[in-house]
Amino acid sequence: MLVRSHIQEYSHTAETTVSLAAGATTTVRQLPALRKPAVQGLSELTRAMLSVAVSDLDTGRALQQESVRIVLLARNAAPIAARDPSTNAWIDLTRYLAAFVTPNAGAVLETLRQAVDRHPARRLAGYQADVVLQVNALYDVLKHDAGIAYIDSQSSFNPDAAALDQRVRLPSESLRLRSANCIDGVLLFASLLEACTLSPALIISRNHALVGWETGRGSGAWEYLETTVLATNDFAEARKLGRRKAAFLQEQAARTGDATWFRRWPVKTLRTQHHITPLE
């Protein structure tokens, strides 16, 4: 049998060949690849049709055809969690926030170049040089040159009770608008860290996020930063706040046994093991 599915007007067709004995059943999982030109302009929830067709490979005869209504999230809505329909348990999807870490975006690279002028040695050399001085330069360029201010904006209006998501700005949008909410600031800072070959991590907790960076290449030791205070606090204060909040969240996770208090997603791991690539 040949199983085919596609989202009308928005995706390519996914195809899976299945061999079944008479009377047997199986589950086929497909993820039709979205067509970038078709979804790039989605700024709000959009209704669409998912079409599924099953045919006999030997005869070409259609065995089943069905279309169901679905809702496409806005391009800048990040999935946070979804319910497993078989167990009703929540599935954590926060690792996919790494798609919004975009180190090669033009605006990010321009900001990185400005950060060079904020560094005492006028160079960003990744783990070949003092890491803290480089992170400090990145913080200062966002504070003084980009002028990033904290603005709380995260609604996405998803009507699906079985899914949670949050409206997220791409780093290029945060730089253009000179504003960022909690997760926006983390994604922007992580983009700059990755762009200068440092290893960032996304720290996702309940209703808050921090950015982290590995202190040495492959060291497994992490430092943390609070990005919501860019407009009001200097780097040393933001670093101190990040350390304190990370320690508190780790303690809560250990005390309660609830991992949602502290999820540390190293971006490098998400790139190599989960194949989560930048959106731009």
* 97-112 pLDDT, tens digit each: 999 999 999 999 999 9
Please report which confidence band the pLDDT of residue 170 belongs to, taking 50, 70 and 90 as the band edges: very high
Structural domains of the chain ordered from first start: 2-72 (no CATH), 77-272 (3.10.620)
* H or E stretch covering 66: strand 62-72
pTM: 0.82
Ramachandran angles phi, psi of 58, nearest 5°: -75, -40
CA 198/CA 217 separation, integer angstroms: 8
Task: State mean pLDDT over 182-211.
Answer: 96
Tell me which of 41-45, 110-114, 154-158, 236-240 is least confident: 154-158
Task: State mean pLDDT over 221-230.
Answer: 97
Question: What is the dihedral sign for C-alpha 155, 159, 165, 168?
Answer: negative
**Confidence at residue 39, expressed as pLDDT on a 0 to 100 scale:** 86
Above 60 in pLDDT, residue 161?
no
Residue 148's closest CA among 122, 179, 187, 113?
179
Beta bridge partners of 201: 212, 266
**Confidence at residue 156, expressed as pLDDT on a 0 to 100 scale:** 46
CA 92 to chain CA centroid, nearest Å: 12
Give the β-pairing of 46-55 and 222-225.
unpaired
